[in-house]
Structure 1
Amino acid sequence: MTREIAVDDDGQIRLQKLLAQSGVASRRRCEELMLEGEVEVDGEVVTRLGTKVDPRTAVIKVSGKRLPPISDHVYLVLNKPRGVVSTMSDPQGRRTLSDLVADRPERLFHVGRLDTDTSGLLLLTNDGDFAHRMAHPSFEVEKTYVAEVAGRLSKGTVAELLAGVTLDDGPVEVRRARVIDTSADKSIIELVIHEGRNRIVRRLLDQVGHPVRQLSRTKFGPIELGTLAGGRLRELSDDELGQLLELVGL
């Protein structure tokens, strides 16, 4: 995340100055946090005032929370509308993600995909390593979806989902599931999974007899879509980015 930080000629900066310029607290309070043992650099508690660090490479935590490094990378949340293809170009001429970020100067990557008919939270970045790790199944980053499905969902069906459902390409682990609303002909369910296989939520709910009518992703790891309007972007906060970097070991 780009922040204007004034470094010394050697490319380093005093730690308390970096914390203050990053908005952690006032310079005096940052010094107090260091003396109280609340600041770590690369896994070591730093209490010596005047310690210098490289703001682009140091892994800094304040009271257990990661402070993102200084970089030229951007990290964005997009609320992808239905009907938009999760690619940056499309040979069929359909509307793509590039149409939604046309005013951004960076070359952006999307972290994973959402089906064309699925709306919701998609992360965009120009940090290739971050994008790769966030999408890689080994890190098991949870994704939360809200689906409107056909029919009344029973407690037995929810239990079946939580017990694990096997699809043609293997079993699916549902971390959490809860029915938000139900009626005679439709239900709304929230599901949390960590996989990103093609159309996995739709296939999962088809398998238990409740085809999806509408589907939206509302969370990616700890990041919430909130009230972000369809087709709009926002930058991740430092706290949000720090949480994601911790999740994937960056």
Structure 2
Amino acid sequence: MITTIDPGEVAKFEAMAAEWWDPSGKFKPLHQMNPCRLHYITSQISAEFDRNLTQPLPFAGLRILDIGCGGGLLSEPMARLGAEVVGADAAPRNIPVAQLHAEQSGLTIDYRNTTAEALAEAGEQFDVVLNMEVVEHVADPLAYLTACQTLLKPGGLMICSTLNRNAKSFAMAIVGAEWVMRWLPKGTHDWAKFITPDELYELIRRAGLDPVDRKGMVFNPVSWNWSLSARDLSVNYVTASVKR
């Protein structure tokens, strides 16, 4: 079976698996970014599927795939909102960490050590695919995004986030996060694999999806929090696309 998995990238996250739920550990940046990511995700899903977030279990009846789920930082909130969640990750050690945390949290989530390509080949279908901070780690972004498109039902929604490729992103995501702050081990990111917003939009279109929105996720070092921006996509950014 064809796969876009990059073994070297999987190995990096395997080595950090036990720290997924430590907000002060190697995934500290993700924990800090997570409220911002969740705000975008829930807003897009509720708008696309006409769901009221003030109601209990607003995502009931939706089947959501969290591809590259890691320890479940996004899978768990989706399950709490009522969705049927499949969390998939190519790194085997991430899955038991995610399963144990979900069990301790009283949540039922279908975690699997698998790939987007394997799920697509098996004929799996989802209303939503969450594809967060994964595309910059795969060997073939177009083939990977095409697999994600195959996994969506007609009318389905994909949320995809990644890192822009420019001098600022190198300074912040690699020099700042890896070398200076040491939030992440050196070598976690490969700047050459970063993707500009226009490049990602083109890849999404070539994969068979229709991009409908994109926003920057901006870190404020003074307030030490993240926010969405319609204009600043210079480092982290997120997109929404639909399968017509």
TM-score interval, normalised by the smaller of the two chains: under 0.3
Higher helix share: 2
Q: Which has the higher strand share?
A: 1
TM-score, length-scaled by structure 2: 0.27
Larger radius of gyration: 1
